[in-house]
Structure 1
Amino acid sequence: MTTKPTTDGWGIDASWLDALDEEHQVAHETIEKLRAVIGEPPADLEERAPIVARPGDALEVDEADVVCEDGEVRHIDGELPPDFPLGYHWLQAPEGPRRRLIVSPGRCWLPEDRAWGWAVQLYATRSRESWGIGDLGDLRTLRQMAADQGAGFLLINPLHAVAPLATQEASPYLPATRRFRNPLYLRVDEVPGADTVDLEADAGRALSEGALIDRDAVWARKREVLMRIFFAHGGGEAFTRWREEQGRTLQEWATWAAITEEHGADWHTWPEELRRPDAPAVAAYAERHGAVVAFHAWLQWALELQLTAAAAGMTVIQDLPIGFAGGGADAWAWQEVLADGVSVGAPPDAFNSAGQDWGSPPLIPWRLRDADYEPFVQSIRATMAGAGGLRIDHVMGLFRLWWVPAGGSAADGAYVRYPAEDLLNIVALESHRAGALVVGEDLGTVEDGVREAMAEHGLLSYRLLWFEDDEPAAWPAEAMAAITTHDLPTVAGLWTEADVDEQREHGTGTEEELERGRRSLLAHLPGLSDDATVEQAVEQAHALLATAPSMLLSATLDDAVGEQRRPNMPGAGDRPNWSLPLPVPVEELPGHPLLQTVARTLAEGVRKG
């Protein structure tokens, strides 16, 4: 039996357990650095911090008036009535400051029926109409294909925006914001007003002829054409009304994007008077550059229209990255809540002996509470919006995050604790309001209690054939079941040894480590002869997956077309990660023999279950 490590008053764990339950002590120097970054919370924090509760819960205040979201004022006496409305309210006790009262159902919304679906790297899924990158028009086509096959969902990579610069960030997991979307995914000829300009579509479609996805070239082309459409059409009254409804949050994003085009992607390097979003100079900048600010707001309007149309009639599970770029829009907006000089990552494990540094600054737990959880609420709500599902990357980050001080290696970090119960209840509230299911990516080192808390709050676990020791038939019902992820080998890559060859080429492990890793994964494909074909290996893997009783069964398009290369190889910095197109155009996917077999196998598994 393992015991939880000692946690100090700053929320820092003094030790940590690895995947083999071996305990490691955190260096005193690391603890001191993190304490300095976290700082001391104000003495009155507990008196003004938000209260997160469920109807029927006892409260820490004897009596108070609550101004509900709809304006109704209710008096409470020590507890919330069982019929108290869900939502974000304000509580005022006879003595003390006004406090946010967040009332949650406690459990996420879940569908009644099981379903299977496709996991899609949308940027990679190009059609003959794409301009160099898979777009929301292609998502609509995929949704139609999936519906025809009897699928119930699509799981897509994060669509969040990056800095609108000539050099585009490739990783979907290091966005500038988790609240707004990337205009690279716009289908240009379907943007309102596109019929008013010469799109020069042939030049756009020619971008798909390259062997890799060239985001820089795609953005240069799309930006130029989109700007012409905007100035010719402007969106009219519909855009004006939508922009007004979005209010300050959208204006702040669009202003950041406009400043970025002039001063660069990292707000720390901007002129000092522009480094705070509420500064008078920022408002003056937005006034002077009103057309550019409006353009970036208009792009978000067009994205919302296209995503809504693409997802109509099917659950599209969107992906929430664990963090965002330290110089980006969210970091600019919430700089008072972020830890400076620290990034998040993961400690050493069986798949990465050096640990991982993901490059995103963490939110300081007590400052997040002091901000009424608003940064978290907005990120969850925006990513969940309009599509019916959410996947939370590294869901263990709701409980604790591995903080890596600047200048050290990822192995020199420590875990910092977060108010998990509050965060899970907020996820449940947003899920309930959106009618959206939630999957928590609980892979890797998962401490005791995490999966139990997820189950209590209705978050689906994430189970992989490559990772699980049990047969798929023994996996839990409240889970999404899959074979692999974007960071792990495809079935074809594993079976042909192409993935090990590529890892060897990029030096991501010793020969012994690579061979041991491959053998451990092959053990999950029993019964195949050494001379089995790729198609037979893929069919066998999905036949096993189909026996899982899990609520959701997910197959990657990469596996379904026999792709040998995984989308991302962690630690291979010289590899074109996130830039590998699917080898089969979208138009040809419905007729692909192996893909059809995978679809039939999973559909039959759901029916039998």
Structure 2
Amino acid sequence: MTTLDELARAHGIALSYSAPKGRVRVPAATKRRLLASLGIEASKRSEASAVSVDAPVMRTAGTARCFIPDWLEEGRAWGISLQLYELRSSRNWGIGDFADLEAVCRIAGRAGADFIGLNPLHAMFTAEPRKCSPFSPSNRSFLNPLYIAVDAVPGHGSEVVDTDRLARLRATDVVDYAGVAEVKLDILRRLFRRWRNGGGEGGWSASAFDAFCTNEGENLRRHALFEALSARMVAEGHGSGWKGWPAEYRDAGGAAVAEFAAANADDVSFHMWLQWIARLQLDAAQRTAREAGMRIGLYLDFAVGEAPDGSATWSNPHLVIADMSVGAPPDIFAEHGQNWGLAPLSPTGLAAGDFEHYRTLVSAAMRSAGALRIDHVMALWQLFFIPEGGTAADGAYVRYRIDRLVEVLAEESRTHRALVIGEDLGNVPRGFRTIMRNAAILSYRLLYFEQEEGVFRSPGDYARVALACLSTHDLPTLIGWWRGTDVALRQTHGLVDAETSRIHAEARRTERRNLLAAMVAAGTLRAEDASAEADGDYFEAIAVAAHRYVARSSSMLANARLADLVGEERATNLPGTVDSYPNWQLKLDVAVEDLADTSLFRAITAAMAAERPRLP
């Protein structure tokens, strides 16, 4: 091993990684660039002293355990997951909002559900709402103000609103993010001015707002300042992300930014107020969920990273590695690897601050939740870094202090009494799931993937410390999977060629037969209903049986996608596409007010409740 290798390994840089054609060694140039990004000079002197550095090790303290309520230690529960934006209702303003969420909580609570899962609700780029992927947020410490239910804000009622425009925004099949933002922000600004001039009462008072701002501190002020400045930059043609701004505005602590803040103090206060309102409404949704009988309530989502040009990286540049992005190495699904376009947190920056930044992030995510999903939970141990301007072939895994990150995560989980679910799909390092189990982090088990050599895993063999479900937002809905809609869609969008699509379609027909056999064997489907051609009215029996199969599993939690409960065929997200498919924009066909009267919704939720009754 060379001294460069020793230095790289000592600072958490993996020297190789697995690929479809065998192990790939990381090039020397990549090691040197990664070391430089970590603030390590790869000189002969530093290489010679590499052995004095403690490299990250995959182990945790045995006492670091996340919260699991006593009733769940031996019990089971079920819930419903949804994309908040996809909700239709007769009262929202063209996008699902926190009031819609409360309505769904009441409906699901009556049906026996114990939690409602959501997409990440992190702050996005308010000045450029077309940037709508919830997994590419501007700042994970704050919320997306487009989810505010404007008609639930105190003082609303006397504004002149273009009701025809609201009707058009509601009627679209995809969320018109730009239209929604324009209408909502206009009215919210008016409400802010009225509130500021007249104040509010109780939890909406000026003193309550001041307390919120004091508690959130400088992070909130800088985020609000970024939002105000971002709007100005968009108006001037520079874009919403700070990397496209004039140089004097790229430094959050610079004189030009301070001058802007002083001249636009009212606008900065407005964006702080938006965060306060959003948090109050999200807190109210959690209270509603618990009042509806849910023992967990909101099950929120924590994205794996943040946009490289957003509020978080602008506010705290020392905590990220600006010239790297997060992705994945080549695998059987992506032969050239993947670049997710997210800025990685700096391992050295986190350690220098004793991991308090990570504590701040997960605390904010758990504050209004009874459970939290950690997207790509393997990031507790490692992330695949890709140098700016390079490809996945130039990348390498960089490791973090998993012992400290898990310790912080567990402490916050117990403080907030929030379960932790880790999305452990894809390339999971050996020994990592043992770490998860020991830390009481629930695994993520998907029906589509729980099969081996053509045999679907029986419900009784599912992992106990886990959440079981059919699929995720990146995978087809059940009816889409059943009909092979996703297979055809990938070919239509040029993700696979015709021959590959034909092979995938044939494999799906086999999978479908195998699933039918598994459901019959498990007793969730009658043999006479096991028709591989089942469709239309007959498909309801298949859908109920599949959800009953997952609900019957040994796993602590079982989840049903709302899209599956209403028979949605379209995909939420089509990985590998950018503009050719309406990712993160599609609305459900069924309105919130009609959910409880929808036959498929009633049938599946009744089956889930029968398999997992909410015991006192």
State the TM-score, normalizing by the size of structure 1.
Answer: 0.85
Q: Is the 8 A contact 1:162 1:168 kept in 2?
A: no
Q: Is 1:223 matched with 2:205? A: no
Q: Deviation at 1:410?
A: 2.8
Cα shift readout 1:66-102 (whole Å, capped 9, x = no counterpart) = xxxxxxxxxxxxxxxxxxxxxxxxxxxxxxxxxxxxx
The 3-state SS of whatever aligns with 1:179 is: strand
Q: d(CA) in 1 for partners of 2:83 and 2:119?
A: 5
Q: d(CA) in 1 for partners of 2:449 and 2:503?
A: 14
Q: Is the 8 A contact 2:474 2:572 kept in 1?
A: yes
Q: Is 1:531 matched with 2:533? A: yes
2:382 aligned residue: 400
Cα shift readout 1:96-148 (whole Å, capped 9, x = no counterpart) = xxxxxxxx961111122321000111100121111111111110011001100
Q: d(CA) in 2 for partners of 1:48 and 1:193?
A: 57
Q: Is 1:107 matched with 2:65? A: yes
Q: Is the 8 A contact 1:127 1:587 kept in 2?
A: yes
Q: d(CA) in 2 for partners of 1:565 and 1:429?
A: 39
Is the alpha carbon distance of 1:578 and 1:524 closer, same or farther for their aligned partners in structure 2, counting shifts above 3 Å? Answer: farther
Is the alpha carbon distance of 1:532 and 1:47 closer, same or farther for their aligned partners in structure 2, counting shifts above 3 Å? Answer: closer
What is the 5 A alignment of 1:326-475?
326-469=308-451, 470-475=457-462
Amino acid corresponding to residue 551 of structure 1 in structure 2: M
Q: Is the 8 A contact 1:462 1:480 kept in 2?
A: yes
Q: 1:275 aligns with which of 243, 247, 250?
A: 250
Is the alpha carbon distance of 1:524 and 1:466 closer, same or farther for their aligned partners in structure 2, counting shifts above 3 Å? Answer: farther
1:189 aligned residue: 151
**Aligned-residue CA RMSD (Å):** 2.7
Q: d(CA) in 1 for partners of 2:370 and 2:258?
A: 35
Of stretches 221-230 and 346-355 in structure 1, the one that deviates more from structure 2 is 346-355
Amino acid corresponding to residue 492 of structure 2 in structure 1: E
Q: Deviation at 1:202?
A: 4.8
Q: Is 1:32 matched with 2:38? A: no
Q: Is the 8 A contact 1:273 1:282 kept in 2?
A: yes
1:505 aligned residue: 492
Q: d(CA) in 1 for partners of 2:396 and 2:513?
A: 33
Q: Is 1:592 matched with 2:579? A: no
Of stretches 500-509 and 265-274 in structure 1, the one that deviates more from structure 2 is 265-274
2:9 aligned residue: 8
Q: Is the 8 A contact 1:392 1:441 kept in 2?
A: yes
Q: Is the 8 A contact 1:196 1:233 kept in 2?
A: no
Q: Is the 8 A contact 1:546 1:605 kept in 2?
A: yes
The 3-state SS of whatever aligns with 1:194 is: coil
What is the 5 A alignment of 1:526-605?
526-527=516-517, 528-533=530-535, 534-573=539-578, 574-605=580-611
Q: Deviation at 1:193?
A: 1.8
Q: Is the 8 A contact 2:512 2:532 kept in 1?
A: no
> Which structure 1 residue ranges, 5 or more long, are not aligned?
58-103
Which has the higher relative contact order, 1 or 2, with Cα contacts under 8 A spaced 6 or more apart? 2
Q: Deviation at 1:278?
A: 3.2
Amino acid corresponding to residue 231 of structure 2 in structure 1: E
Q: What is the aligned length?
A: 553
> Which structure 2 residue ranges, 5 or more long, are not aligned?
201-205, 234-238, 452-456, 518-529
Q: Deviation at 1:517?
A: 4.3
Q: What fraction of aligned residue pairs are identical, expressed as a percent?
A: 38
Cα shift readout 1:385-434 (whole Å, capped 9, x = no counterpart) = 12221100000011110111222223442111111111011000000100
Amino acid corresponding to residue 104 of structure 2 in structure 1: L
The 3-state SS of whatever aligns with 2:468 is: strand
Q: d(CA) in 1 for partners of 2:442 and 2:23?
A: 29
Q: Deviation at 1:341?
A: 1.9
Q: Is the 8 A contact 1:166 1:220 kept in 2?
A: no
Q: Deviation at 1:290?
A: 1.0
Q: d(CA) in 1 for partners of 2:542 and 2:504?
A: 18
Q: Is the 8 A contact 1:126 1:135 kept in 2?
A: no
Is the alpha carbon distance of 1:421 and 1:376 closer, same or farther for their aligned partners in structure 2, counting shifts above 3 Å? Answer: same
Q: Is the 8 A contact 1:105 1:429 kept in 2?
A: no
Q: d(CA) in 1 for partners of 2:127 and 2:192?
A: 18
Q: Deviation at 1:309?
A: 1.1
Q: Is 1:286 matched with 2:276? A: no
Q: 1:153 aligns with which of 115, 124, 143?
A: 115
1:91 aligned residue: none
Cα shift readout 1:492-523 (whole Å, capped 9, x = no counterpart) = 11111222121111011233444444525536
2:228 aligned residue: 258
Q: d(CA) in 2 for partners of 1:142 and 1:240?
A: 31
Is the alpha carbon distance of 1:434 and 1:541 closer, same or farther for their aligned partners in structure 2, counting shifts above 3 Å? Answer: same
Is the alpha carbon distance of 1:10 and 1:515 closer, same or farther for their aligned partners in structure 2, counting shifts above 3 Å? Answer: farther
Q: Deviation at 1:582?
A: 0.8
Amino acid corresponding to residue 87 of structure 2 in structure 1: T
Is the alpha carbon distance of 1:243 and 1:199 closer, same or farther for their aligned partners in structure 2, counting shifts above 3 Å? Answer: farther
State the TM-score, normalizing by the size of structure 2.
Answer: 0.84
Q: d(CA) in 2 for partners of 1:412 and 1:466?
A: 32
The 3-state SS of whatever aligns with 1:163 is: coil
Q: Deviation at 1:32?
A: 3.0
Amino acid corresponding to residue 13 of structure 1 in structure 2: A
Q: Is the 8 A contact 2:139 2:312 kept in 1?
A: yes
Q: d(CA) in 2 for partners of 1:319 and 1:608?
A: 24
The 3-state SS of whatever aligns with 1:154 is: strand
Q: Is the 8 A contact 1:118 1:556 kept in 2?
A: yes
